[in-house]
Amino acid sequence: MKILGNEIKPGMILNHDNDQWEVIKTQHVKPGKGGAFNQVELKSINKDTKRNERFRSSDNVQRVVLEEKKFNFLFEDDNDCHFMNQTTFEQMAISKKKIGEKTKLLKENLEVTINFFEDNPLSVELPISIECKVISTDAALKGQTVSSSY
């Protein structure tokens, strides 16, 4: 699906320069001379690279349409996290490197959404709220109060 350069938003997946890129950050820039453009920070999904691109509002960009499937988290080993499809009961492993910091929040039987592009898993989306238990916190500091001080 083609979109204009000024319609790019964080979280989108773009097909650009024969690779799939996740949009990390966007910033609309209006220089004093010349036309406005959208400064976009991109992270490659297939490789471990980042880069910045400029898209004018008239530029056409190919947005990737993703297929979403519901999975349950089963377990994790040294390098992978294992998930099971809720409808077909098919199991699959995704590398912890691809999931990133989200691996710390995965609990057994947690329902997640995995986004696929051409039957390849691209990203794992966690539920909006997750119940966690606080194990330890820092000690209280002198002067910390519940009420605000003016």
Instruction: Note the pLDDT tens digit of each residue in 84-94.
Output: 998 999 999 99
pLDDT at 27: 93
- DSSP sequence for 11-32: T-EEEETTEEEEEEEEEEE--S
140: Cα separation from own chain's centroid: 34
Question: Do the domains spanning 2-63 and 67-125 agree at the CATH topology level?
Answer: no
> CA–CA distance from 141 to each of 27, 48, 138, 144 (Å)?
39, 41, 9, 6
CATH of domain 2-63: 2.30.30.30
Give kind and range of the element (H or E) at residue 84: strand 80-85
The residue-averaged pLDDT of 33-62 equals 88
CATH fold group of domain 67-125: OB fold (Dihydrolipoamide Acetyltransferase, E2P) (2.40.50)
Query: Which residue is listed with tokens 């880069």?
Result: 51
- What is the residue type of 13? I
User: How do the domains of the chain map onto residue ranges?
Assistant: 2-63, 67-125
Whether residue 26 has pLDDT greater than 90: yes
| Cα distance between residue 120 and residue 123, in whole Å | 9
Nearest 10 degrees: Cα torsion 73, 116, 70, 103 = 30
Give pLDDT, residue 84: 95
What average pLDDT is seen over the chain? 87
